[in-house]
Structure 1
Amino acid sequence: MNIDSLWANVQPYLVDFGFRLIAVVIIYMAGKIGLGIIDKVLKKVFSHSKIEPTIVKFLQNMIHVAVNVFVFLAIMGKLGIETTSLVAILGAATLAVGFALQGSLANFSSGVLIMLFRPFKVGDFVEVGGKSGLVHTIGILACELTTPDNKRIIMPNGKIMGDTIMNFTAEATRRIDLVVGVSYGSDLKKTRAVILEELQKNKLVLAEPVPTVAVTELGESSVDFFVRPWVNTADYWTVRSEVLEAVKIRLDAEGIEIPFPQRDIHMRGTNPTA
């Protein structure tokens, strides 16, 4: 076999391989350019949105993975490699990983929901699953809370979204709910006026909504008033403490008794000893 006949036999394969190689380069470059365009579009779309940066980054990563898988399969197809078996293997692997990471996937999807719907943000004080604390971090799998005594709680997102979330700092203002009991012999109108006056003295108590002081219950040993001033959320604990102290001092000064439960015990069938 001479060189001419050898070249005649090899040439069609080389030409075919050359076209395939060119197609592979075009597919690769198209995928790379496409990802660049997608990144720019996402950056422009989400730059002025309120969506968490973590969600945007995750979306970008998922798109990158999907495009890269598509480009890989397209290149394999152009090189003449059967892709059906590859797709089947990838599908089986994905299914196996999904079963193995079922709990993590639940936490992951819950993390996405938390970032999308924002039931709380970093810095909020929340109670969830019987635990309360300041939100320290919001992650894709778990959130971290810092308790008032400076303990760190790591809570899976699946547990958070599956429970009731109470956000104490979601609103700008909060109402303080107190109960003050006075003796049955007290002047109720005077008591109410005195408590209202102490609320009005506190500069952190909001004028609107108007504080409420009213009889709420006739207890066993006291007439109970509910005391409900409104404050800025940041001032809640400060005002609560100040109001309790001021009301106690003022009621004492006015001679208004704050009773405490008492029991009279009668002894029968015993003789007193001298």
Structure 2
Amino acid sequence: MPQVNWSHWTDIAVSIGLNILAAIALWIIGRWLINLACRLVSDQLIRRNIDATLQRYVHSFLSVSLTVILIIGILGYFGMQTTTFAAVIAAGGIAIGMAWSGLLANFAAGIFLVVLRPFKVGDFICAGGVTGTVENIGLFATTFNTPDNVQTLVGNNKIFSDNIQNYSTNGYRRVDLCAQLANSADYALAQTLLREKIATIANVMTTPPPDIEILEFNERGPVLAVRPYCHTDHYWQVYFDSNRAIRDTLTAAGFPLPEQPVVVRQG
């Protein structure tokens, strides 16, 4: 029976163990240096008052790029030819690019979103079928916080290829409400009362003043358009307060309730 050379196998195990420990140390030190570099770059961007959208995008791009370089360096430490590895990455990138064209499209769209700036972090927008506040513009997706407090991620390409409504760009926006009146109601008096009442609601702008006009007529009577203006931050407060003001004002003035006409036919 051949004798096992335990000394030889011990040397191999020790060598492998030392390599593994060295790789772990390189990873820990490398990640610490990457975080340090990202933090230094972010500090410089903050000092120069660079927009928060660009800050987060640069941070993500720098972190991912340096991490890939670190992984290549660790593999090179184990004896792998980095040139071969780079060629494998390039070939894999082509294959992945063909299979994940949507992912690359999201990446390219993210660059255009940062450069063209249709919106920025903190804006309240409607894009890609989602309405909410922009929390982050990432490499591949944009993070929204919807009004019902749900974090939603939407691919950058879907946002860039769709209509984008930015509610935060202009200084104010209009609240659209309607008031249904009965056929027998004095619509002119209703306009006067609502115009006075809506103007007293908190955060309703005086310039432009609220619009209280006849929108249309239906079988129940005239329909008044009630349209106050306010800042985007106060939209829902003005919306709900105006709805309540319509009900309370018309009720207090004794306006009749609009009724649905019923036609009875005898066969």
TM-score (norm 2): 0.66
**Shift in Å at residue 88 of structure 1?**
8.2
Identity %: 29
**Shift in Å at residue 64 of structure 1?**
8.5
Give the structure 2 partner of residue 124 of structure 1: 123
Distance 1:144 1:175, change over 3 A: same
Give the structure 2 partner of residue 115 of structure 1: 114
C-alpha distance in 2, partners of 1:98/1:122?
29
Q: Which residue of the other structure, out of 54, 58, 82, is the alignment partner of 1:52? A: 54
Instruction: Please list the CA deviations of residues 58-117 of structure 1 after superposition, one character each: whole Å capped at 9, or x if unmatched.
Output: 77689989xx9xxxxxxxxxxxxxx9x999888656544533442211110111111222
CA RMSD of aligned residues (A): 3.6
**Shift in Å at residue 240 of structure 1?**
1.2
**Shift in Å at residue 197 of structure 1?**
0.8
C-alpha distance in 2, partners of 1:260/1:131?
37
After TM superposition, the structure 1 = structure 2 runs for residues 126-165 of structure 1, keeping only pairs within 5 Å, are: 126-165=125-164
Distance 1:132 1:55, change over 3 A: closer
Q: Is the 8 A contact 2:56 2:137 kept in 1?
A: no
- Flag structure 1 segments of 5+ consecutive residues without an equivalent: 1-38, 69-82, 269-274
Distance 1:143 1:205, change over 3 A: same
* 1:266 counterpart = 2:259: no
Instruction: Please list the CA deviations of residues 196-235 of structure 1 after superposition, one character each: whole Å capped at 9, or x if unmatched.
Output: 1101221321110121111121212111111111111111
Corresponding pairs, count:
216
C-alpha distance in 2, partners of 1:243/1:194?
13
After TM superposition, the structure 1 = structure 2 runs for residues 9-20 of structure 1, keeping only pairs within 5 Å, are: none
- Flag structure 2 segments of 5+ consecutive residues without an equivalent: 1-39, 70-82
> Which residue identity does 1:162 align to in structure 2?
S
Kindly name which structure, 1 or 2, has the bigger radius of gyration based on alpha carbons. Answer: 1
TM-score (norm 1): 0.65
**Shift in Å at residue 47 of structure 1?**
3.0
C-alpha distance in 2, partners of 1:203/1:145?
28
C-alpha distance in 2, partners of 1:91/1:235?
51
Give the structure 1 partner of residue 235 of structure 2: 236
Distance 1:160 1:89, change over 3 A: same
